[in-house]
Amino acid sequence: MNTRLASVLCATLALAACRKGEKSGPVVAEVGDEKITADEVRQRLNETSPFLRARYNTLERKKEFLENMVRNELLAQEAIRQGYDKSPAVREQMKRAMIQELIKHQLDSKLAGTDIPDEELKKFYDAHLDDFVKPERARVFHILLPAKDARERAEAKKKAAALLKDIDAREKKGETNAFQTAAIKESKDALSAPLGGDLRFLSKDELTKAYNAELANAAFDLKNPGDKTQPFETPAGVELVKLQVKTVAMNRSFEESKEPIRQRMARERRSRDYDEWVKKLRDNAKVAIHEQELEKIQVDAAPAPQQPASISSGHPIPALPPVAPVSQPGQKAPPTAASKIGGN
């Protein structure tokens, strides 16, 4: 059986299986011994996008939607009659769908984090304050020309002015890394010179502590990426500085951060619960790995498969494949998600 047919049958059979245990509301259609209720129709309609849902506001449109559900029920019954529910391909697809449902009901009920008290949220905020309160930072390149006395400073300033003029000329010709190239050759800062004078991202206070206030003030006085200082003096000598980029300062209060923290804590808790749950399942089951047989498996070279859908904990869970759409007169954009198999 080809993969596409297996996917369609899997979704159709899954729909049929789900409906057997979820019957409520008045009956709106009967397909053999199976009944389709008003609640089922309403549920399927609610699973469509609001744009498509707005189409089904008349009896004729609702009948059109119901006809699709009848069609799917007929397909499911015929698939079962022909034994496709026992096909290995369909059983594999059903297994993936069941895993999604299991994880959703087992773990996702607390994903909103509404049960996490404010005290725990505040504790998280205080422990991760750097995530919510950050000073402005700048990434700058600099060229240091050491100078100890007035004569050396005068010579260093003259050399720095010549370097700046040369850098500007080369940049106008399109050499975007002219400053970094000059820093590698001319700067006497042993730590940054091999990196093209790169001081990485630092706040003004960090730059002051690592170097000096004069360098920090000059760097943060620059406004736009690419701006450069004129030669200026520092306790170490004479400097040139070029601004690469600045990051905006952030100062988010606990109240502003509370909901993002709640979501983050809920996701992290879900990930932990998932790992613990799977470990418990494995500990309680008989799992044996036969490495000798595993090693014999030959894997054919092939293009990388499409990335499967992931649950929020980062553990990949195979997604239920789309169902082949069946066009209706006047229909422009039928959805293909398996969750909407009961209607357009």
pLDDT in tens, 186-196: 999 999 999 99
Residue type, 191: L
Let me know if residue 266 belongs to a domain: no
Residues 88 and 146 in one domain: no
What is the mean predicted confidence (pLDDT) over 116-130? 93
> Domain count of the chain?
2
Residues 39 and 101 in one domain: yes
Burial class (CB in 10 A: 0-12, 13-18, 19+), 34: middle
Given 200, 227, 250, which residue is the final one in a domain? Answer: 250
Q: Reply yes or no on whether the pLDDT at 73 is more than 60.
A: yes
Given 202, 229, 250, which residue is the final one in a domain? Answer: 250
What are all long-range contacts of 327-335, with beta carbons under 8 Å and residues at least 24 apart?
A: 328/64, 328/68, 333/52, 335/48, 335/49, 335/52
Residues 155 and 99 in one domain: no
Residues 106 and 140 in one domain: no
Residues 166 and 239 in one domain: yes
pLDDT at residue 104, rounded to an integer: 86
Let me know if residue 279 belongs to a domain: no
Let me know if residue 41 belongs to a domain: yes
Residues 155 and 242 in one domain: yes
Instruction: Report the Cα 14 to chain-centroid distance in Å.
Output: 29
pLDDT in tens, 273-298: 999 999 998 899 888 888 888 888 88
Q: Reply yes or no on whether the pLDDT at 325 is more than 90.
A: no
Let me know if residue 333 belongs to a domain: yes
SS3 for 332?
coil
pLDDT in tens, 216-237: 999 999 999 999 999 999 999 9
Let me know if residue 327 belongs to a domain: yes
What is the mean predicted confidence (pLDDT) over 67-78? 91
Cα separation, 192 vs 184, in Å, equals 8
Q: Reply yes or no on whether the pLDDT at 308 is more than 50.
A: no
Among 125-134, 135-144, 244-253, 335-344, the range scoring the smallest mean pLDDT is: 335-344
Q: Reply yes or no on whether the pLDDT at 65 is more than 50.
A: yes
Cα separation, 73 vs 113, in Å, equals 38
SS3 for 83?
coil
Residues 82 and 160 in one domain: no
Cα separation, 93 vs 80, in Å, equals 15
Residues 159 and 225 in one domain: yes
What is the mean predicted confidence (pLDDT) over 94-118? 88
Residues 47 and 89 in one domain: yes
What is the mean predicted confidence (pLDDT) over 300-321? 49
SS3 for 46?
helix
pLDDT at residue 53, rounded to an integer: 86
Among 21-25, 124-128, 198-202, the range scoring the smallest mean pLDDT is: 21-25
pLDDT in tens, 208-218: 999 999 999 99
Residues 101 and 141 in one domain: no
Confidence of residue 54 (pLDDT cuts 50, 70, 90): confident
Let me know if residue 11 belongs to a domain: yes
User: DSSP letter string over 194-240?
Assistant: GGTSEEEEEEHHHHHHHT-HHHHHHHHH--STT-BPPPEEETTEEEE
Q: Reply yes or no on whether the pLDDT at 2 is more than 90.
A: no
Cα separation, 256 vs 278, in Å, equals 35
Given 213, 231, 250, which residue is the final one in a domain? Answer: 250
Let me know if residue 210 belongs to a domain: yes
Let me know if residue 18 belongs to a domain: yes
Residues 81 and 23 in one domain: yes
Domain that holds residue 243: 133-250
Confidence of residue 246 (pLDDT cuts 50, 70, 90): very high
pLDDT at residue 306, rounded to an integer: 59
Q: At what angle do helices 178-186 and 150-172 cross, to 10 degrees?
A: 150
Q: Reply yes or no on whether the pLDDT at 176 is more than 60.
A: yes
Residues 103 and 147 in one domain: no
Percentages of the chain per state (helix, strand, coil), in multiples of 5: 55, 15, 35
110: left (phi over 0), alpha (psi -120 to 50) or beta: alpha
CATH number of the domain at 179, please.
Answer: 3.10.50.40
